[in-house]
Amino acid sequence: MIDSLYRQYIHQGGGCGFESFLNMHPESSLYFSLDYLFYDRIVDYYQKLFGFDAVLVCLYESLKESPVEFLNQLFSFLHVNQLSVDFNTKVNQGMSAISIKIARILNRFVHSVSFNPDPVIPSRLVNSHFARRLLQGYLDPLLFNRISGQRSFISKEQQLNNYFSKTNRSLLKRLDLPLKKYHYPL
């Protein structure tokens, strides 16, 4: 999830490196805190607000591993008819790690409403969205996806594991989730 949030930040026009993204000052308008990912607190809040039986907690890994089973569980919980879904079509494939690195640098020079309203390259025609479309639409399929093996920006994984182990244990006490199966830090 952290990697995904960082990628989205770059997509939106952000220019910080991964470490800087994780360590933004709380007074920054772009502030992100790892505490936002303490899911035990979020689940507890929703269960108090809506009732224990009105909250379904699932893991992304379960969706990825068995999409049909995951959706059957979701549709059953929602009491809706099952839909036919084509799981082989990628609707919104993310940018490669190489493109993310290039976009991060380009974002410092091009216009972005949220992150760089006064860019070095003043033309609004060449902005962060244009750069993303170029990288994601052309360079990734033709080149970068073939040569980039990097899938994540998280380099200090053990430190993050320690940070989230307590909240994960708290979730495990309350819910029957396969956290061990997917190697969540406990």
Residue 24, C-beta contacts closer than 8 angstroms, at least 6 positions apart: 16, 30, 31, 32
d(CA 178, CA 16): 34
Residue 48 reports pLDDT greater than 60: yes
d(CA 106, CA 10): 10
pLDDT of residue 145: 59
pTM listed for this prediction: 0.68
Average pLDDT of span 17-24: 84
What pLDDT, in 10s, does the model give residues 160-180?
778 889 999 999 999 999 999
The residue range of the domain holding 141 is 1-182
95 within 8 A of 132, measured Cβ to Cβ: yes
Residue 150 reports pLDDT greater than 60: no
What pLDDT, in 10s, does the model give residues 83-128?
777 777 777 677 777 888 888 888 888 777 677 767 777 766 666 7
Average pLDDT of span 74-81: 92
Q: Which residue has the higher pLDDT, 12 or 146?
A: 12
Confidence of residue 51 (pLDDT cuts 50, 70, 90): very high
Q: How many domains does the chain have?
A: 1
Largest Cα–Cα separation, the chain: 54
The DSSP secondary-structure symbol of 95 reads P
